[in-house]
Structure 1
Amino acid sequence: MFIPQFPPEQLRPVARAADEAGIDELWVWEDCFYESGVATAAAALAWTERVHVAIGILPVPLRNVALVAMETATLHRLFPGRVTLGVGHGVQSWMGQAGARVASPLTLLREHLDALRALFAGERVTVDGRYVKLDGVELAWPPAEAPPVFSGGTGPKTLRLTGESADGTILAGGASPEVVREAAETVRAGRAAAGRGGEHPLVASILVATGPDAERRLAEDARRMDWDPAAEAHVAGDAAAVAAAVDRWAAAGATTVVLQPTADEPDPVAFVRWVAEEVRPLVS
């Protein structure tokens, strides 16, 4: 994961290192008020040849659904098969700071997901929802094939909604294996209620620190994000310890496990290479 606490000028060497090292996916965020998820994804895709780039997440209160569809459809046309889009509520206090907070985040997310998936499918969309209002909107350049749309969040109501209306779920950071297990059950219930079958990917992230001061750095970063440093939601240690953690999260139901460096990671490029060369070979 390239976290937005890293300055934008560090993205190019990190993306190229991920591409060269054979990393499967590079994830970027859109945190207020750091970096644009779409801009960073586009740059990372342009600088690389094969690595898959995922945006987790775009906060829907900040973004009109037609704009999200236009921007990400462009990415899918430029870099087919290499993009994953995630949308979600965003942090409510940040949405308030930006003047974009809504009374019913669940309603907005449902309306956004339904409209976005229809636009990606090439439909002409007219909707007069509580928040999403479109009048005959149709993408001139939709993706060649309708791509999956992931949605992120926490809490049973949001997770059930992602099962009902999204094609994959991105769990909020700091989710332990037990939280992953419970989330997977809630998502499955939502899909069953909506009559949806097939696979539904579940993405979880682990806060990771390695090196001689790993415990201190991890604890400080967890506190910065208001996560419990003692919770089984992070790992500090060597490659074997991190690989074992990935196995635990996968066994709990995560189909993708993203490794998140701390904000004070001294060498993000070396972190990427360490994940590829030392951690991944030990993951069962």
Structure 2
Amino acid sequence: MSQQEFPELSCYLLPGHTRTPVDALDEVRRAEDLGLGKAWLSERFDVKDAGVICSAALAVTERIHVATAATNIHTRHPMVLATMCSSLHYMSAGRFELGLARGVAIRNQLMGLGTVTNRQMVDGLDILRRLWRGEKIVSYEGPMGNLPYLSPGDWLDAHIPIYFVGFGPKSLVFAGKHFDGVHLHTFITPDGLHRAKQAVQQGAEQAGRCIDDVKICTVMATVVNPSREDYLRKIVARMATYMQAPGYAELLVELNDWDAEVLTQFRADALVSSMLGGIDSVATLEQLEALEKLIPQEWLSAVATGTPEACARRIHEELGHGADEVCIHASTPDEFAPVIEEYRRIKTAEA
């Protein structure tokens, strides 16, 4: 199996809200043709089931890796999650990677799910890795529930990388101790990326690991020569939606060392509080124009926009700021294809 040209680059499939999940098939084929090393899928509980879409994406490709960013440790029974992952691993000759997140607090509550604790995550990782090695789980009772007997078959020997998907400072220290990689977030500034890497390194050192054992993937919203509507829908609406989520935006503000009062005022605005659903799904262009005025330009600038060359240089710079991988977000492979051509020129020039 030949390697991809740019293993340090990846993209999201079905970036944001979608009603046509079949688009993922053309997108992943195109991403592979462009030479990207990986495609990530963010799971949503409508038509973006991680197992289904990752399976389809792996089935129509030969080289590119496919990963979740993210699913959760507690939305599937441990045996079901382990089986999903090992099935994807073996059907793709090892091209599947698992990204796990704690889940959004308000959604966990609405679904009747508890908050994922560190102990639950640690036990969950151990159970998954043991099952993938063909080991039995016997008489387990703990944070992952009551598991009298789990037996996947002793022939299994699947080594599946597990990424922590999140960006809270304490969680990043935790991730450095236990995960193979960290998948960060859109709108993290260079200073925020530096703080994130320091936190991961702290955790790795506490666990007696090397920072090089934990890969850091940062997420870069990338929009080539955006029209006004593109900018509003792909940049402003995305940031506004993150700012809606209780507990979620606070972590981004803390990591980037932004003014928390801005977030408080944003949520108190009458337009924001009247939104019935995620802003990126329900807001009109007129509403997005108004919402843009509530968000500091600094908060919207940690992206790659403009000409293909400008976008490519911003992505290349991100790798220089400490990322092992940059995940292109907010655009499809067809839309960001010119960026990859410019990125190739930059890499060739520096070789």
Is TM-score (shorter-chain normalized) higher than 0.5?
yes
Matched, 1:146 2:159: yes
Match of residue 303 from structure 2:
234
Contact conserved, 2:226 with 2:305, CA < 8 A, in 1? no
Match of residue 253 from structure 2:
none
SS in 2 for 1:146: coil
The CA deviation at 1:37 is 1.4
Deviations 1:118-143 (A, max 9, x none): 22233222432223443342322775
Match of residue 265 from structure 1:
none
Decide whether aligned partners of structure 1 residues 107 and 242 sit closer, same or farther in structure 2, where only a CA change above 3 A counts: same
Contact conserved, 1:110 with 1:161, CA < 8 A, in 2? no
Decide whether aligned partners of structure 1 residues 138 and 167 sit closer, same or farther in structure 2, where only a CA change above 3 A counts: farther
Contact conserved, 2:21 with 2:47, CA < 8 A, in 1? no
Deviations 1:193-242 (A, max 9, x none): 12223521011101111224154442233223327553242222122222
TM-score, structure 1 normalization: 0.87
Match of residue 211 from structure 1:
225
Matched, 1:72 2:136: no
The CA deviation at 1:281 is 3.7
Decide whether aligned partners of structure 1 residues 203 and 279 sit closer, same or farther in structure 2, where only a CA change above 3 A counts: same
Q: Distance in 2 between matches of 1:119 and 1:196?
A: 23
Match of residue 127 from structure 2:
115
Contact conserved, 1:261 with 1:271, CA < 8 A, in 2? no
The CA deviation at 1:166 is 1.1
Deviations 1:46-83 (A, max 9, x none): 11122211211112231222211110101111112311
- Amino acid corresponding to residue 135 of structure 2 in structure 1: E
Contact conserved, 1:30 with 1:56, CA < 8 A, in 2? yes
SS in 1 for 2:222: strand
TM-score, structure 2 normalization: 0.72
Match of residue 215 from structure 2:
201
Aligned counterpart in structure 1 of residue 321 of structure 2, from 235, 249, 252: 252
Identity of aligned residues (%): 24
Q: Distance in 2 between matches of 1:15 and 1:123?
A: 33
The CA deviation at 1:34 is 4.4
5+ residue gaps in structure 1? 263-267
Q: Distance in 1 between matches of 2:155 and 2:333?
A: 34
Decide whether aligned partners of structure 1 residues 280 and 81 sit closer, same or farther in structure 2, where only a CA change above 3 A counts: farther
Name the Cα RMSD after superposition. Answer: 2.3
Q: Distance in 1 between matches of 2:63 and 2:168?
A: 34
Contact conserved, 2:220 with 2:326, CA < 8 A, in 1? yes
Decide whether aligned partners of structure 1 residues 133 and 156 sit closer, same or farther in structure 2, where only a CA change above 3 A counts: farther
Match of residue 274 from structure 1:
338
Query: Any runs of at least 4 consecutive aligned residues in structure 1 with deviations exceeding 4 A, and if so which?
Result: none
SS in 2 for 1:62: coil
Q: Distance in 1 between matches of 2:141 and 2:177?
A: 20
Larger radius of gyration, structure 1 or 2?
A: 2
> Aligned pair count?
278
- Amino acid corresponding to residue 200 of structure 2 in structure 1: V
5+ residue gaps in structure 2? 1-11, 244-248, 250-294
Decide whether aligned partners of structure 1 residues 113 and 132 sit closer, same or farther in structure 2, where only a CA change above 3 A counts: farther
